Amino acid sequence: MELPPEIIKRIIYFVNWSWYPAIYYVFYNILDIPQPNLLQLNKFLYCSAKSGNKQLCYLAKNLGAKNFNYYMIGAASKGGHEHICRLAKKWGATDFDLMLYNAAKNGYEHLCYLAKKWRSTDFNSMLQGATMGGYKHLCYLAKEWGATEFNYMLCNAAKQGHEDLCRLAKEWGAYNFDLMLHYATKKGHENICRLAKKWGATKFNWMLYYATQERHIKLCYLAKEWGATNFNRMLLAAAYKGYEDLCYLAKEWGANNFNRMLCEATQGNHEHLCRLAKEWGANNFNEMLCEATVTNNERLCRLAKEWGATNFNVMFSLAKERGFIHLCYLAKE
């Protein structure tokens, strides 16, 4: 059964737009559909290169794709496609450092050698890519070729939870264990946090803050156990993110800056936490009004007024500056 052109048109608009240029190429003679723009062509080139399809890369180039660095050699090295990398170089790609990084991150040793042969010299970037991907043998190769940024390696290993690579980075001279603790906390890697502490990390207030931000409750308890004391900062992070249970926990541990909690909750548009802060004693409603105006939250503006805010001139100025006309009218009201 033949589909009418209008139905085909509708189907086309529901497909993945990265492949739109190929659909245009097939249907442009029989359908009145828009010509793909340069971004669509480059995205099509990216998908074609990443999947290793040489014919589609030629099609993308013939239709007008131009970025043979990021969208072609970068994508091909992610997918491990040497023949596409060679084609990209033939067409003018020169970013072999990007190729080296992507190849190392995805574990393609043969492409690392090829990028080096083509005069890539960013072996530190290669080391970071290999660390992110968890490829120990490529970390050794990057060091052999001249990589020296072992503190960055330590951070990336901590971020990804690669304990063996953390140990290797330390063995090679990495020493920034507080930054290691920071990245491990954000990603919730308790084993790496413990390792960082064992090696000398001491910034447990920062650990508490980031654990709160990312809602790693177990790590909040661990940070407190290790000596964290800045529970007001914990309270503010919890209020901004909307974590009511962590607000209660911070208060239980001694946090008392409820005025600042009210502002952070307002910035995060969390009405229930604004009410909680007021219940706990917050009274800076003019500041709440300002924060609500800046975030364009009419409901919280009205709530601040209901609770006693009076600084409507400042509200008007802030709303006018940001183009929030409805809040300007509200301030005048």
Q: Tens digit of pLDDT for each residue in 35-74?
A: 888 999 999 999 999 999 999 999 999 999 999 999 999 9
DSSP of 39-54, one letter per residue? HHHHHHHHHHHHHT-H
Q: Which pLDDT score is estimated for 203?
A: 98
Q: Can you tell me the distance from the alpha carbon of 305 to that of 1, in angstroms, rounded to the nearest whole number?
A: 65
Half-sphere exposure of 245 (CA within 13 A, CB side): 5
Q: Tens digit of pLDDT for each residue in 193-233?
A: 999 999 999 999 999 999 999 999 999 999 999 999 999 99
Q: What does R_g of the chain's alpha carbons equal in angstroms?
A: 27
Q: Which pLDDT score is estimated for 33?
A: 73
The 10 Å Cβ neighbour count of residue 217 is 15
Q: Tens digit of pLDDT for each residue in 7-40?
A: 666 665 555 667 778 877 877 777 777 788 899 9
Structure letter (DSSP) for residue 107: T
Structure letter (DSSP) for residue 109: H
Half-sphere exposure of 331 (CA within 13 A, CB side): 23
Share of the chain above pLDDT 70, in %: 95
Q: Can you tell me the distance from the alpha carbon of 124 to that of 142, in angstroms, rounded to the nearest whole number?
A: 7
Q: Can you tell me the distance from the alpha carbon of 43 to that of 41, in angstroms, rounded to the nearest whole number?
A: 5
Structure letter (DSSP) for residue 247: H
Q: Which pLDDT score is estimated for 175?
A: 97
Q: Can you tell me the distance from the alpha carbon of 301 to that of 266, in angstroms, rounded to the nearest whole number?
A: 9
Closest CA to 285 of 257, 318, 259: 259
Closest CA to 154 of 122, 187, 196: 196
For residue 163, give the amino acid letter: E
